[in-house]
Amino acid sequence: MRGKYARIYENNGDVIIEGSNEEDFLNIWKDYFDLDNDYNEIRREISEVCPKLECALKSIDGIRILSQEPWEALCSFIISQNNNIPRIKGIVTRLCEEFGEKGEHGYSFPSAERIAHCTAEELAPLRAGFRASYISDAAKKISDGEVVLEDMYIMPVEECRAQLMKIKGVGPKVAECTLLYGLHRLDAFPIDVWMKKALSTLFSGIDSGNLGKYAGVAQQYIFHYSRLNPDFVK
DNA sequence: GCCCAGGTATAAA
DNA sequence: TTTATACATGGG
pLDDT band of residue A232 (cuts 50, 70, 90) is confident
A26: pLDDT strictly greater than 80? yes
Neighbours of A68 (CB within 10 A): 21
Measure the CA–CA gap between A181 and A77, rounded to whole angstroms. 10
> Is-contact A183 A70, C-beta < 8 A?
yes
For residue range A166-208, list pLDDT tens digits in order.
Answer: 999 999 999 999 999 999 999 999 999 999 999 999 999 999 8
| Distance of C1' in B12 from CA in A99, Å | 41
DSSP codes joined into one string, chain A: -TT---EEEEETTEEEEET--HHHIIIIIHHHTTTTS-HHHHHHHHHHH-GGGHHHHHS-S--------HHHHHHHHHHHTT--HHHHHHHHHHHHHHHS-B-SSSBPPPPHHHHHT--HHHHGGG--TTHHHHHHHHHHHHHTTSS-GGGGGTS-HHHHHHHHTTSTT--HHHHHHIIIIIS--TT-----HHHHHHHHTTTTT--GGGSGGGHHHHHHHHHHHHHHSHHHH-
First-last CA distance in chain A? 36
Would you say residue A230 has pLDDT above 90? no
Q: Is the pLDDT of residue A34 over 80?
A: yes
- C12 C1' to A23 CA distance, Å: 46
Supply the mean pLDDT for chain A. 95
Confirm whether any atom of chain B, the nucleic acid strand, is less than 7 Å from CB of A66: no
Smallest CA–C1' separation from A77: which nucleotide? Answer: B6
Q: Which residue is nearest to nucleotide B6 (CA to C1')?
A: A192
- What positions of strand B are covered by protein, i.e. any atom < 7 Å from a CB? 4-9
Nearest amino-acid residue to B9, taking CA and C1':
A169
Which bases on strand C have an atom closer than 7 Å to a protein beta carbon? 7-11
**Catalytic residue list contains A173:** yes
CATH superfamily for domain A70-182: Hypothetical protein; domain 2 (1.10.340.30)
Is 80 exceeded by the pLDDT of residue A134?
Answer: yes
Predicted pLDDT at A231 = 79
Q: Which residues pair with A8 in a beta bridge?
A: A17
Which nucleotide is the nearest neighbour of A130, by CA and C1'?
C8
List residue ranges whose Cβ is under 7 angstroms from nucleic strand C.
Answer: A 82-84, 86-87, 124, 127-130
What is the length of chain A? Answer: 234
From the CA of A89 to the C1' of B1: give the distance in Å.
27
Query: What percent of chain A is modeled with pLDDT above 90?
Result: 94
pLDDT tens readout for residues A83-131:
999 999 999 999 999 999 999 999 999 999 999 999 999 999 999 999 9
Question: Using 50, 70 and 90 to split pLDDT, how confident is the model at A36?
Answer: very high
Q: Which member of A30, A52, A168, A173 is catalytic?
A: A173
DSSP-assigned letters across all residues of A166-223: TSTT--HHHHHHIIIIIS--TT-----HHHHHHHHTTTTT--GGGSGGGHHHHHHHHH
Condensed to tens digits (0 to 9), the pLDDT of residues A203-223 reads: 999 998 889 999 999 999 999
Q: Which of residues 175-204 of A touch strand B (CB under 7 A)?
A: 175, 177, 190, 192-195
